[in-house]
């Protein structure tokens, strides 16, 4: 599983606290984790402490989010064989943690909403609190991925009906029920992940990954695409990407093989 067909180079700025990423920096670590489940999986995130993966399970009746623990931080090879699980909205097509692990978010494809829930213990799904929500009807429908800024003040949602990612301001940080549209949107990717400092976005469609530089961190209206790669191997249906470990590790979920792959810089 290797990068191939490099298209676009560009001068990469920002990223990872002064350590900008370039798509050509990453190579396959040799680590992967196959997920066995009867429900389709959409969405991937890695915990800020590197000790768990978050995956969304799509079901028309009762969606859920699942957490796979890692015994060694950031090392996919140490992922547990079984997952902890929490009921969430149905029709999940994207999910993410807050940076501190005290909130979790998911998109509901059919009901066109973003849901958020607090946790009383960071990263522990058994401590989920009351769910709040926000309707995306004003901008479109068919939400896919969801991301939140490191300070919890900005929310980002990709809508399939328009092919754009929309940026929202949260008047109460981390609380999606206080979201309001900023008027900012951009064609980034179907699934996306921000660098630690918000100055770059790495995104994907079914078979490729893209890199965008943001001249103003966390402001997608300032983004410019600076590179793209077509992935070799068996990637045909990418349904989640996540950066972690100060942007030194990249995790990609391919739905066709139900497998998460790890790449390192």
The pLDDT of residue 4 is 36
Residue 198 pLDDT > 60: yes
What is the mean predicted confidence (pLDDT) over 200-207? Answer: 93
Question: pLDDT grade, residue 233 (50/70/90)?
Answer: low
Question: pLDDT grade, residue 60 (50/70/90)?
Answer: low
Question: pLDDT grade, residue 122 (50/70/90)?
Answer: very high
Q: Locate tokens 């739905």: which residue?
A: 255
More confident call, 40 vs 214? 214
Question: pLDDT grade, residue 167 (50/70/90)?
Answer: very high
Residue 49 pLDDT > 50: yes
Alpha helices of 33-135 — where are they, by DSSP H? none
More confident call, 215 vs 61? 215
What is the mean predicted confidence (pLDDT) over 235-262? Answer: 92
Residue 3 pLDDT > 50: no
Question: For residue 213, what are the CA distances in angstroms to 114, 148, 210?
Answer: 26, 17, 10
Residue 232 pLDDT > 90: no
Question: For residue 42, what are the CA distances in angstroms to 65, 97, 125?
Answer: 10, 14, 18
| CA–CA gap between residue 252 and residue 237 (Å, rounded) | 10
| Mean of per-residue pLDDT scores for the chain | 88
CATH number for the domain harbouring residue 236: 2.120.10.30
Residue 234 pLDDT > 70: no
The pLDDT of residue 15 is 37
Count CB neighbours of 210 within 10 A.
21
The pLDDT of residue 241 is 96
Residue 11 pLDDT > 70: no
Q: Locate tokens 């943001």: which residue?
A: 214
What is the mean predicted confidence (pLDDT) over 53-65? Answer: 80
The pLDDT of residue 91 is 87
The residues that bridge with 246 in the sheet, in sequence order, are none
Quick check: 83 and 67 in contact, CB under 8 A? Answer: yes
Quick check: 65 and 106 in contact, CB under 8 A? Answer: yes
Burial zone of 156 (CB within 10 Å; 0-12 exposed, 13-18 middle, 19+ buried)? buried
Quick check: 114 and 177 in contact, CB under 8 A? Answer: no
How many structural domains does the chain have?
A: 1
What is the mean predicted confidence (pLDDT) over 191-206? Answer: 95
What lies within 8 Å, CB to CB, of 203 at 6+ separation is 188, 189, 190, 191, 192, 193, 209, 210, 211, 212, 241
What is the mean predicted confidence (pLDDT) over 178-194? Answer: 97
pTM (2 d.p.)? 0.91
Burial zone of 33 (CB within 10 Å; 0-12 exposed, 13-18 middle, 19+ buried)? buried
Residue 223 pLDDT > 70: yes
| CA–CA gap between residue 156 and residue 47 (Å, rounded) | 18
The pLDDT of residue 12 is 28
Residues spanned by the domain of 73: 3-264
The pLDDT of residue 16 is 40
Closest CA to 68 of 48, 87, 47: 47
């Amino acid at each position: 599983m290797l990068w191939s067909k490099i298209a676009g180079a560009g001068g990469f700025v920002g990223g990872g606290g002064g350590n900008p990423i370039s798509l050509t920096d990453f190579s396959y670590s040799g680590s992967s984790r196959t997920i066995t489940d009867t429900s389709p999986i959409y969405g991937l995130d890695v915990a800020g402490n590197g000790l768990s993966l978050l995956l969304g399970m799509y079901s028309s009746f009762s969606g859920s989010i699942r957490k796979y623990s890692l015994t060694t931080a950031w090392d996919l090879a140490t992922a547990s064989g079984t997952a902890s699980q929490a009921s969430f909205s149905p029709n999940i097509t994207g999910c993410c943690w807050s940076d501190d692990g005290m909130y979790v978010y998911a998109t509901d494809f059919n009901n066109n909403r973003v849901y958020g829930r607090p946790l009383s213990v960071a990263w522990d799904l058994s401590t989920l609190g009351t769910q709040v929500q926000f309707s995306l009807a004003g901008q479109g429908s068919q939400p896919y991925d969801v991301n939140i800024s490191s300070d919890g003040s900005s929310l980002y949602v990709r809508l399939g009906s328009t092919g754009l990612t929309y940026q929202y301001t949260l008047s109460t940080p981390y609380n999606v029920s206080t979201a309001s549209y900023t008027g900012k949107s951009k064609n980034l990717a179907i699934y996306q992940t921000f660098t630690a400092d918000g100055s770059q976005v790495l995104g994907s469609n079914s078979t490729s990954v893209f890199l965008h530089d943001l001249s103003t961190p966390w402001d997608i209206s300032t983004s410019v695409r600076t590179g793209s790669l077509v992935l070799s191997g068996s990637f045909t249906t990418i349904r989640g990407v996540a950066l972690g470990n100060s942007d030194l590790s990249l995790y990609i979920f391919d739905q066709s093989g139900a497998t998460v792959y790890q790449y390192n810089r």
